[in-house]
Structure formats: C-alpha cells, structure tokens
Structure 1
C-alpha cells in the first residue's frame, strides 16, 4: 500500500467520500482554468482518488458559480496580504521597495 492509499483510507475512516481519480486531461483543464499548477504529490493523489465530500473543492464542476467560488478561495491569501499592505501599512523590507498603491502591490 502506498502513502496515498494510506491517506485515502484514513480519510475514508472519517467519512470523506471519493470519486475516481482525475485524468491528465482533467488536471490540465483545471490548471488552465484556475491558472494554478498542482504540486506533484497532490496531483499524484488526485489521480488515484478525488475527495468529493465536505469542504473539498469539486474540481470537476466547471459551472460559473463553482469556478468563481474556487477562484475566490485561491485568491483569498493574496487578498489578505494586500489588505494588510493597504489597511495596516504592512510591508516586509525583504520584498523590496514598498508600492505606492494596491495595484502596484499586486504586481510586486
């Protein structure tokens, strides 16, 4: 049993439901749609079995509302940092020169 099967079985014990794994074509479509690239380990696991219950993303649903929901969740960390830059005057000197506005901060 490989490490992914062990993880999948552990998740099944806590009632996570799974669907068949994603194909290479499905992963390519997801990555292109969201402008992301799955880490190798997540890609490998998702190709074995795809979690579909609870708060897991429904990667196979390409309806506009689902895409907007997933994109919002993917953008959440960046939006949080940008909020802190603008509202809390947060800037780490290791990032270089502090931007003058939010649009400039997005490109830094």
Structure 2
C-alpha cells in the first residue's frame, strides 16, 4: 500500500505579508454612469447606438470592478486565515511529536 505522501511547507509570515500587500489600487475610482443620452453634435446618425453601447460598457466595467474589489478582499482574508491555520496546525503537530517523545523518554 504505497500511497502518495503529501507534505506541505508553508511560510506563515510570507502569507501574512502577501495579505498585507493585497489592496485595491488608489488610482481605481468608481465608474461613473454616463449622463442620460443627449443628441450628438452635428446630427451624428449613429448617436443612439454609440450612447447605448457606452452605457452598457460603463455599467459592465463598474460591475467588473466591484466584483474584483470584492474578490481582492476575499483573497486578502483567505491568505491571512491560511497563515493562521498553517501556523496552528504546525504548532499542534509539534506538540503531538513532543508528547510522543516525552512519553517514550
């Protein structure tokens, strides 16, 4: 029964440092919805189509940025939790090994 051996070597401090670096860039502002459709200058015949496409693209971009901001917050929290979990598991394993050594000693 030669099962695969799984090892995990993590660096909780690196995980915490990563979590601290994950941030929403200050340069990214919320997307403003364009003003209501207004007639294009010089009577552009495709004005309504361009205005509708601009509104749809702007709304899609705003939704994407909101989701990305939420995903970054989730990633940051997950990295911090992973560091804590890894460290707690590592310490629990060390205590278990120490307990066995003390029992045998």
Fold agreement, TM-score > 0.5: no
Specify the structure having the higher radius of gyration (Cα): 2
**TM-score, reference length from structure 1:** 0.22
**TM-score, reference length from structure 2:** 0.23
RCO higher in structure (CA 8 A, sep ≥6): 2
Task: From the two aligned structures, give the one with the greater helix fraction.
Answer: 2
